Structure 1
Amino acid sequence: MLAVSDLNVRYGKVEAIYKASINVDRGTIVSVIGPNGAGKTTLLNAIMGVLPSQGGIEFCGANIGRLTTEQRVAKGMCLVPESRELFAQMSVADNLELGAFTRYRRGDKGIKQSLDEVYELFPRLLERRTQLAGSLSGGERQMLALGRALMSKPTLLMLDEPSLGLAPLIVKEILHNISNLRSTGVSILLIEQNARAALQISDYGYVLENGDIAMEGLSKELANDPKVIESYLGMGGAGQDRDKK
């Protein structure tokens, strides 16, 4: 579904991503782990068209390197950023409706069904549908961010640290929901501060170090690799990653 080849991203003279190549197959979860400042968020932003880049980005067999972010969303890509970017002074229901903006423009008739599916996936959002987004708890805000993304009916969902700042029980619930999305046919590219959890729910993984892909393989193999264990899993899921690049 997604094929990124030899991707390069610069901040002025600083090379943040260097010849990074990753693939995401249809219906799979792919995780990217790595140390602080490795460039993982930069990687997602470049794929989404938020940042300029050089290299190849193919989505569903088509080169999308010249498409705008909005055009990539219309193609079926969606990014949930680390900051979630909710409209705090709008209700939960209105935030979800905004997620379907491009579908409204196309005259899509299935938006109500998608809304029902999001409420089924996240029952708490149904309970809070008239509540302002800014008054939600951290876990509820993350659910809303995921739900809003799903309202665009993506075929590829990119998530930047969905468990950041959440209590352990809420993290478990969020990651369980993400894992369940696989059964809906949505492909997921996941950046997660909890490297152990990311490898547990993903099918394939990449290790990004200094803007370069240092390792890759089946997630279960990476989780048992001595180097990965020592660097990212030795602290019981440390690998805390809050890089902004």
Structure 2
Amino acid sequence: MSASQEMNRTSLLEVKDLCVSYGKVEAVHKVNVRIGEGEIVTVIGPNGAGKTTLMNALMAALPSAGEVAYAGHRLGERRSIEQMVALGMNLVPEKRELFSEMSVEDNLLLGAFSRYRRGFRDHLQSMEEIYERFPRLRERKRQAAGTLSGGERQMLAMGRALMAKPKLLMLDEPSLGLAPLVIREIFKVIESLKSAGVSILLVEQNARAALRVADYAYVLETGSIAMEGPAKALAGDPKVIESYLGVGA
């Protein structure tokens, strides 16, 4: 992508010089990331590169320094998770963090709580949309979340986040620990969300799957952006192939 094309991407989220530290150890260093409207952007990189830290900082779950602008408005450093959800951002964390003893249906309803508190009463319609997107959740709606398979738990975590009607959905390692057939199903849903107008920031260890579905990609190494560009271009880059896709890719 040329510099002019990059500038023409309509930004939903723009991050400049983001830094995150754990005490004196800097885990993320001056990271610049842009997510366009209706775009899937992926961040790939080795374990320990700072990918999850980056996600948590964007969601205000970790303190950070730098500039974060959402929908053209600069956000203050004292932003909260609740503010981010109200603005239209939501995160599906790597560990999914479901309420195991509660039913599938009740977990989904909790995802709509922030909208309900702001006066919206569309949670039943939203739940029906989630069931259409994830039919298995409808079949198991009365089951405790803790009894679900790994793939079903990932579907529920995504469904719960979607109940908040996010404009930007952030997914941290959605394929982690899942069987190949389930991974394909999850990535089909990710593509369908883009078609529905949801922007997606995808952190993923499965670089091949991530680059296949994404529009734009960043490579994060030791807390800094090492490479970036259109996902198709990075998928064909010799350095990316050698480090993340395997020589035979």
Q: TM-score, normalised by structure 1?
A: 0.95
Out of 37, 56, 59, the position equivalent to 1:45 is 56
Deviations 1:4-42 (A, max 9, x none): 000011011111010000000010100000011100000
* Partner of residue 46, structure 2: 35
Aligned counterparts of 1:63 and 1:162: Cα–Cα separation in 2: 29
Cα shift at 1:116: 0.8
* Partner of residue 241, structure 1: none
1:6 equivalenced with 2:10 (yes/no): no
1:170 equivalenced with 2:179 (yes/no): no
2:17 aligned partner, one-letter code: D
Deviations 1:124-161 (A, max 9, x none): 00010001000000000000000000000000000000
1:83 aligned partner, one-letter code: K
Out of 66, 80, 92, the position equivalent to 2:92 is 80
* 1:27 aligned counterpart, secondary structure: coil
* Partner of residue 191, structure 2: 179
Contact 2:170-2:202 within 8 A present in 1 as well: yes
Out of 151, 164, 177, the position equivalent to 2:163 is 151
Cα shift at 1:235: 6.6
* Partner of residue 68, structure 2: 57
Deviations 1:200-227 (A, max 9, x none): 0010000001100010000000000000
* Partner of residue 8, structure 2: none
Larger deviation, residues 109-118 vs 228-237: 228-237
Aligned counterparts of 2:80 and 2:67: Cα–Cα separation in 1: 15
Deviations 1:155-184 (A, max 9, x none): 000000000000111111111111110011
Cα 1:235–1:165 change in 2 (3 A) is farther
Aligned counterparts of 1:152 and 1:144: Cα–Cα separation in 2: 13
Identity %: 66
1:20-31 paired onto structure 2 within 5 Å = 20-31=31-42
1:212 equivalenced with 2:227 (yes/no): no
Query: What's the Cα RMSD here?
Result: 1.0
Aligned counterparts of 1:235 and 1:10: Cα–Cα separation in 2: 35
Cα 1:34–1:236 change in 2 (3 A) is farther
Aligned length: 237
* 1:41 aligned counterpart, secondary structure: helix
Q: What stretches of structure 1 move > 4 A for 4+ residues in a row?
A: none
Out of 215, 218, 235, the position equivalent to 1:223 is 235
1:192 equivalenced with 2:204 (yes/no): yes
Contact 1:64-1:72 within 8 A present in 2 as well: no
Out of 83, 101, 104, the position equivalent to 1:92 is 104
Aligned counterparts of 1:123 and 1:192: Cα–Cα separation in 2: 24
1:223 aligned partner, one-letter code: A
1:110 aligned partner, one-letter code: D
* Partner of residue 118, structure 1: 130
Contact 2:46-2:205 within 8 A present in 1 as well: no
* 1:17 aligned counterpart, secondary structure: strand
* Partner of residue 127, structure 1: 139
Q: TM-score, normalised by structure 2?
A: 0.93
Runs of at least 5 residues in structure 2 that lack an aligned partner in the other structure: 1-11
Cα shift at 1:109: 2.5
Runs of at least 5 residues in structure 1 that lack an aligned partner in the other structure: 238-245
Cα shift at 1:236: 7.0
